Amino acid sequence: MSYLDDLLRTQKLDDTSEEWKELDAEAEKIERIIRAAYPDSVLMFTHGGSRAKRTMIREDYDLDEVLYFRNGDTAAGETLEEIYEAVAKLLAKHYTVRRKRSALRLSMKDGRDLKVDVVPGRYVDDTQTDVFIHQNEGDKARLKTNIVSHVAHVRDSGCTDVIMLTKLWRTRDDIPIKTFPLELLVIVVLSANNQGSLEDRFRRVLTAFRDDIDDLRIEDPANPTGNDLSFALTARIRDTLAKVAGDTLAAADAHGWEHVFGKLEAKDSIPRVQIMRSAAASAAVQTRPWGPKS
Amino acid sequence: MTAPWFERAPQLYTELETMLRNRYPSLHAFVENGKVHVRGTFPLDEGGRTFDRYRIDIVLADVHPAQPPRVWETGGRIPRTPDRHVFVDGALCLGTPLALWIGLEGDFSLPRFLDEPVRNFLIGNSLVEQGEAWPHGERAHGAAGMIEHLAELFGTQQPVMLATFLQAVAAGSVSKHSHCPCASSRKILKCHLAGFKALRRIPPEVLDQTARMILTEFAPERLAA
């Protein structure tokens, strides 16, 4: 097993992990609140995002819960925006709600982030496959999408291990790209050749980001011609991906992957605060924070 | 208009990138709008292991490394309030300007800046999040914090005395044979010599700026005069 395989193992979240159980408990609570508010609606409430795709990583995870009303169901509103707002107002009685592009981000009233996004929408027709969701930003106020198609595209790509590692790289290097376009990029790069070790394939992805980022094209598997993903892959994001990928490859070549990602996490027997105090005590120069006159 | 440092000396920019790859592989240099930003995550390590990590954006000074960089925490983790030692624009208040100059001996090269005041600040913030105090204490805001620091160097908290002394050092009109500002009646040589030596290494404009801030808050009539 290589260092990168071991690293990935420390990042994996599964059904037995505490983080996963906490998210599930919160999701069940949210589902109860919503079902109670719309007792006559037949709602589809299920996991989307990395939980469903099996690409969650411990260092940066959240739970996407999709909430779909049936086609023609107006219990929460006539329009998609009305549905979005109605669900937001309902959840605001219990949580602090932040409106994102299409999702509602939930925090506890005391400010603690629950790491849960709720995405309301309505099925396009009675086949209950494609849905319309409201968009706060961009050219279109509504987006046609298909969560089942998204999940299958990623989960069945054969690249979930590289996707998880690339997500960790994105998080560690603070690259401002959203998860879904990053997943699509990895799949596009590896669609030509997905052979080799985890390191081989991760290197292939970073090399493509470094050398060919402007040639990489992504499209929404749920609506390839209809949904424009250019907002998710701007020139600035492409430049950042190329620059950081180049830096990372150079650092790995010179010093190895452990230098890039650090020592593997180990269960510390020492309390975290004690480690912090020890780190503070080792300061070569003891500086004290200051502030402007208030 | 003088070109920025990374255009005048591109090899220094290349050295910066190499240093980042060698020492801080999750930080990366970018040139944006005529400024060099260093962005990414900064790990807090102890015993070779990372116990915390912050998203930061550092903007290097136009005369880097002769002036201190400015640092923003970009993960939304540190509340942007004075109580958490954050300026109105979100930059972290790592220390009084004078304390940073003295503590770093005027060396604002990125490794030293990251490993000392930035690291100290972020470890302190991690402890504060856990309900602990700042490990090395915290300065009062505004000129009061500057006086606290100067009092440790010269044994007096007299604002006018300290400001006047800073101005005199800036003007080069005081020597180690002058009377010590602590009012001991002794010469600096026999009194607070270490503090005086530290101040003499500071650029006059930094001393003047500190003096003006002290006078503005504690003796504005002196400033007008």
User: Chain A: nearest CA to B217, how far in angstroms?
Assistant: 9
* Euclidean distance between CA atoms A244 and B57, whole angstroms: 15
From first to last of its 294 residues, what are the pLDDT tens digits of chain A? 799 999 999 999 877 888 888 889 999 999 999 999 999 999 999 999 998 999 999 999 989 999 999 999 999 999 999 999 999 999 999 999 999 999 999 999 888 888 999 999 999 999 999 999 999 887 788 889 999 999 999 999 999 999 999 999 999 999 999 999 999 999 999 999 999 999 999 999 999 999 999 999 999 998 888 777 888 899 999 999 999 999 999 999 999 999 999 999 777 678 899 999 999 999 988 999 998 776
On the question of a cis peptide bond just before residue B65, with omega within 30 degrees of 0, the verdict is: yes
* Euclidean distance between CA atoms B186 and B183, whole angstroms: 8
Strand (E) positions, A103-164? 104-107, 113-123, 131-134, 142-145
Mean pLDDT, residues B54-67: 95
pLDDT, tens only, B164-203: 999 999 999 999 999 998 988 899 999 999 999 999 999 9
Cβ atoms of A142 and A77 closer than 8 Å: no
ipTM value: 0.89
- C-beta atoms of A293 and B217 within 8 A: yes
Reference B73, options B51, B41, B32; nearest CA is B41
Secondary structure (DSSP) of chain B: -PPPHHHH-HHHHHHHHHHHHHH-TTEEEEEETTEEEEEEEEEEEETTEEEEEEEEEEE--TTTTSS--EEEE-SS-S--SGGGTB-TTSBB--S-HHHHHHHTTT---HHHHIIIIIHHHHHHHHHHHTTPPPTT--PPSTHHHHHHHHHHHHS---HHHHHHHHHHHHHT---TTSBPTTSSSSBGGGSSHHHHHHHHTS-HHHHHHHHHHHHHHH-HHHHH-
Tokens coding A191: 């669609």
- C-beta atoms of A279 and B93 within 8 A: no
- C-beta atoms of B55 and A284 within 8 A: no
pLDDT reported for residue B225: 62
Residue B105's DSSP bridge partners are none
Tokens coding B112: 């030293």
pLDDT for B1 beyond 70: no
- CB distance from B96 to chain A under 8 Å? yes
Sheet containing strand B27-32, strands side by side: B27-32, B35-46, B49-59, B70-73
- C-beta atoms of B103 and A285 within 8 A: yes
pLDDT bracket for residue B36 (50, 70, 90): very high
Closest partner residue to B120 among A174, A277, A287, by Cβ? A287
User: Chain B: nearest CA to A143, how far in angstroms?
Assistant: 29
Greatest distance between any 2 Cα atoms in chain A: 67
User: Chain B: nearest CA to A84, how far in angstroms?
Assistant: 25
DSSP β-ladder status, A142-145 and B27-32: unpaired
On chain A, the residues whose CB falls within 8 A of the CB of B37 are none
Which of the 8 DSSP states describes residue A115? E
pLDDT reported for residue A106: 95
Residue A86's φ and ψ, nearest 5 degrees, are -65, -45
**Mutation for B interface: A275, A287, A294, most B CBs within 10 A:** A287
pLDDT reported for residue A268: 66
- C-beta atoms of A285 and B53 within 8 A: no
Reference A6, options A261, A246, A272; nearest CA is A261
User: Chain A: nearest CA to B71, how far in angstroms?
Assistant: 13
pLDDT reported for residue B209: 94
- C-beta atoms of A285 and B104 within 8 A: yes
pTM recorded for the entire structure:
0.91
For residue A45, give the 3-state DSSP assignment.
strand
- C-beta atoms of A287 and B116 within 8 A: yes
Among residues 169-208 of chain B, which lie with CB inside 8 Å of chain A?
Answer: none
pLDDT reported for residue A18: 86
pLDDT, tens only, B82-135: 889 999 999 999 999 999 999 999 999 999 999 999 999 999 999 999 999 999
pLDDT reported for residue B213: 94
| Average per-residue pLDDT for chain B | 94
